[in-house]
A and B are shown apart, each in its own frame.
Chain A
């Protein structure tokens, strides 16, 4: 808020009465061809007080000569005026520059979405709230995971080799584990215990014998590569053969 006192040039000999202990702007309207131009333009009389809002619109005008209504600074008139001015100040928009060069992209700033990369710095209004937090991941559907980017969920499309028709040469596709999307191409070398180049029930039988016999470790038979030959390898091999 700025206070400006507008006097008249012919009365400036008593300027000190205005400025004593006061750092507000004080001006002297000059007498001219048509009198005091500023006073005339405003239609002002002695002790008229005007309040203009941040857009320059006159929102208050009253003569404060009356000592009854305006003599005491703690009077209700002054309190109401203070409240009114505080309300006007609260209506002033935040500093922004509408001429800023901004990128045309929806951007999340402080939890709110804006139409450009400048957020509110170019005086743009928010177009809504951000959907998510930057970097947040949603993997509820492993075949359609989503990642939060610029306040919005971005879908990630996963193209699985099997669905794309990529052959699993020398092996077979194993169904994906929980939380995974794509089948895994498991080469026949793993599981082809009899070495005939084909994965079939003969390999299953051979694996079962290995597991039950407790013989030394066989890397080809270790279907899950955990360093142990057990029923888990048998189940995995059965799945491949039957799949």
Chain B
């Protein structure tokens, strides 16, 4: 029952945000959006670039 509950929650979040969208905290202290949850929908009517990467 617990696993079904978690799965439903994940599906609900996906539908709410929509395709190509996310909401994650900006952790760059130099950014003007530091501490806010940003994503595609956070910047409406703007061209957005999304770079997926990490340092191993």
**What 6 A-B pairs are tightest by C-beta distance, nearest first?**
A27-B24, A14-B55, A11-B54, A44-B52, A26-B28, A25-B26
Q: Is the CB of A24 within 8 A of B52?
A: no
Q: A6-B22, A18-B55, A33-B10 are in contact. Are A25 and B28 (CB under 8 A)?
A: yes
Give every chain B residue within 8 A of A5 (Cβ-Cβ): 28, 51, 53
Closest to B14 in A: A41
Q: Is the CB of B52 within 8 A of A6?
A: yes
Q: A180 at interface (Cβ–Cβ under 8 A)?
A: no
Which of B32, B39, B41, B51 is A23 in contact with, Cβ under 8 Å?
A: B32
Considering only residues 22-71 of chain A, those with a C-beta below 8 Å from chain B are: 22-30, 32-34, 37-39, 41-42, 44-54, 56-58
Per-position binary interface string of chain B over residues 10-28, scored 1 when its CB falls under 8 Å from any chain A CB and 0 otherwise: 1001100011111011111
Summarize A's interface: helix, strand, loop or mixed: mixed
Q: Is the CB of B31 within 8 A of A23?
A: yes
Q: Is the CB of B55 within 8 A of A19?
A: no
Closest to B17 in A: A41
- In addition to A11-B55, A18-B55, A28-B24, 10 A-B residue pairs with Cβ atoms within 8 Å of each other are A1-B46, A3-B51, A24-B31, A25-B38, A26-B27, A27-B26, A37-B22, A46-B53, A92-B47, A93-B45
Give every chain A residue within 8 A of B56 (Cβ-Cβ): 11
Q: B6 at interface (Cβ–Cβ under 8 A)?
A: yes
Which of A29, A42, A48, A54 is B45 in contact with, Cβ under 8 Å?
A: A54
Tell me, in angstroms, the Cα distance from A27 to B23 when the chains sit together: 9
Q: B4 at interface (Cβ–Cβ under 8 A)?
A: no
Q: Is the CB of B24 within 8 A of A2?
A: no
Q: How far is the CB of B20 from chain A (nearest CB, A)?
A: 6
Q: Is the CB of A19 within 8 A of B54?
A: no
Q: A106 at interface (Cβ–Cβ under 8 A)?
A: no
Give every chain B residue within 8 A of A28 (Cβ-Cβ): 24-25, 27
Give every chain B residue within 8 A of A48 (Cβ-Cβ): 51-53
Per-position binary interface string of chain A over residues 62-99, scored 1 when its CB falls under 8 Å from any chain B CB and 0 otherwise: 00000000000000000000000100110011000000
Q: Is the CB of B48 within 8 A of A2?
A: yes
